[in-house]
Structure 1
């Protein structure tokens, strides 16, 4: 029997996209062909990306016809979702990546993005909300909620194994977000400088790379914490669980958040989360029960909460056990991707009937 074929529209280098596609191949036995926009959605490039977008639908239709796709899936509800809606392929599944996908809110293109998002919502057969916060936006946008599947892709729990480090004698913190301005690594470094001034021992591991890497290394020297901070740069994905398992506190301070696979990975490995007080995080974290939520860019408060978390080892011990259980029940890649793959087969079979 011939494999069912899916056309994937999205940025194939992103970890979330790779997880999605690999899960469909593993648990749905799908054959996948990919296409993505070549222009980055940053600064002046946004206008160039819009021009590219306007010219792309004919290319998409040509690929769809040549590949004879049984289904199209799109990584966003705006650009790629709009192209999926114009592709001529049915069924269509689109996924909202952020709280709204309408970002930045002060963009001149915001009204246009809202129009094409609403069109994609209307034309799609299935809409992925990787978490409840995304479903809230969809409901407020007048989406037919019968089309919405609220389920994270999940993480590989055999890969991200649990280890309890709550009895460590020093703070071993880790940050696993890209070194980009929106993740506020500078706030984290400044918080640890406060710990240094209070003679509180710590090790901070900063995983990944990005345009802020050089300036963050310079900042760590200015703050005189460079001997306590390890910048790993980009690492092999196989090494990430080992670093998480050696850590006892996970820190993430972005200014916006949808559903963070990085948070699930940290929770699975036994790290106590200290994260920004955003709706996306509040879906999973209850204050000082299984983690800590703080306002973004509050250096002093972040330092205080890291100290509180470390000194309250009994809270952390209980929390990391609860978090592992939560991830096993709600974010298990093997279970969730099987459900998603089965849903796709169902949609394709309904089209054939």
Structure 2
């Protein structure tokens, strides 16, 4: 039988996209064609250029469809790429909401426009992915037909992110694995560890990744006199991450907004105790002082308190990390979840061909 072909619209270099694409290849035996906007949105001029590129993207996508003849189209985000998928003329269409709403930032001058094209994409999509329950809240507000929504995370590869019998100690070996961008709250994390340092509490803090705040964060670490205890790894290969997680006992993440965090699942799978911001995207997975700790956004003093509480309660952490591993195995297993998603795509394609 001829392999089915899928057109993927989105930034194929992103870790989430790679997980999605590779899962469809492995568990659905799909051929994947990718297309993405080439201009980054890292400054105002490039945002204008990207908008112009987006306008001309419609013809490009239609030409790819005419040439490659894919069986369906999928897209990350329910705004830009999702809208392109919706107007492509190809069915079935699966779009994935990446954040809690995808309408971000809320003070953007393009907010109303994004909402308009998102509503169109929601209406035209055959299938809408919600990688977690928090994403359905915005969908309900937008009056989405919830029968089209599949609530399921892509999951993580549990063969790579293994549980590790680490010694439960009171020495803090904390890790942060989010991009070095303002919305991920690294400044708050460093200030919290500055408090710990003043109180004479020993720690090592490993900050993984790269981003535009790297220099600012290094300067702050020096100002707080903790630069000798903070390790900035820079960008690393994903296959190096499990080792760093295994060497850590606390996972810290302070985003101001969150959809579904694969980074959190990875940490939970590797027996890192999670301390994360108290927002809807984390509340579904973490119950405060049960399987992790929740901290008010931008409150570095509370973060410091929760780190101290967590490290002092060794037995609690031991039970929590063991339960978290089981939870991830049951709810975020990449093999299981990507097989379900792949089967769903085959079903949609078959139904299209049948009708």
| Pairwise TM-score range, normalised by the shorter structure | over 0.9
Aligned to 2:7: 7
Task: Report how far residue 3 of structure 1 moved.
Answer: 0.6
* Deviation per residue, 1:51-90 (Å, 9 max, x gap): 2212111110000110110000001100001000111111
Distance 2:172 2:340 in 1: 39
Matched, 1:24 2:31: no
Aligned to 1:33: 33
Task: Report how far residue 111 of structure 1 moved.
Answer: 0.5
Equivalent runs, 1:183-194 vs 2, <5 Å: 183-194=184-195
After the TM superposition, which segments of 4 or more aligned residues of structure 1 sit over 6 Å from their partners? none
Task: Report how far residue 218 of structure 1 moved.
Answer: 1.6
Query: Which secondary structure state, in structure 2, belongs to the residue aligned with residue 94 of structure 1?
Result: strand
Task: Report how far residue 43 of structure 1 moved.
Answer: 4.3
* Deviation per residue, 1:151-187 (Å, 9 max, x gap): 0000000100011435124010000001111112111
1:164 and 1:317 in contact (8 A); partners too: no
Matched, 1:130 2:131: yes
Aligned to 2:113: 112
- Listed as ranges, the gaps of 5+ residues in structure 1 are none
Distance 2:307 2:88 in 1: 49
**Which moved further from structure 2: 162-171 or 339-348?**
162-171
Query: Which secondary structure state, in structure 2, belongs to the residue aligned with residue 203 of structure 1?
Result: strand
**Which moved further from structure 2: 47-56 or 266-275?**
47-56
Distance 2:286 2:167 in 1: 18
Aligned to 1:297: 298
Aligned to 1:320: 321
Query: Which secondary structure state, in structure 1, belongs to the residue aligned with residue 164 of structure 2?
Result: coil
1:166 and 1:313 in contact (8 A); partners too: no
Distance 2:184 2:167 in 1: 25
2:291 and 2:320 in contact (8 A); partners too: yes
2:169 and 2:314 in contact (8 A); partners too: no
Aligned to 2:351: 350
Distance 1:108 1:230 in 2: 38
Task: Report how far residue 190 of structure 1 moved.
Answer: 1.0
* Deviation per residue, 1:193-217 (Å, 9 max, x gap): 1111111111111111111112211
Distance 2:191 2:134 in 1: 30
Task: Report how far residue 42 of structure 1 moved.
Answer: 4.3
Task: Report how far residue 314 of structure 1 moved.
Answer: 1.2
Distance 1:187 1:323 in 2: 25
Task: Report how far residue 48 of structure 1 moved.
Answer: 2.8
1:166 and 1:316 in contact (8 A); partners too: no
1:170 and 1:202 in contact (8 A); partners too: yes
1:289 and 1:319 in contact (8 A); partners too: yes
Equivalent runs, 1:88-107 vs 2, <5 Å: 88-107=89-108
Distance 2:170 2:64 in 1: 57
Count of residue correspondences: 353
Distance 1:84 1:193 in 2: 47
- Listed as ranges, the gaps of 5+ residues in structure 2 are none
2:170 and 2:314 in contact (8 A); partners too: no
Aligned to 1:228: 229
Equivalent runs, 1:186-265 vs 2, <5 Å: 186-265=187-266
Distance 1:305 1:325 in 2: 24
Distance 2:325 2:278 in 1: 21
Distance 1:33 1:207 in 2: 30
Task: Report how far residue 41 of structure 1 moved.
Answer: 3.2
**Which moved further from structure 2: 309-318 or 45-54?**
45-54
**Which moved further from structure 2: 299-308 or 47-56?**
47-56
Task: Report how far residue 221 of structure 1 moved.
Answer: 1.2
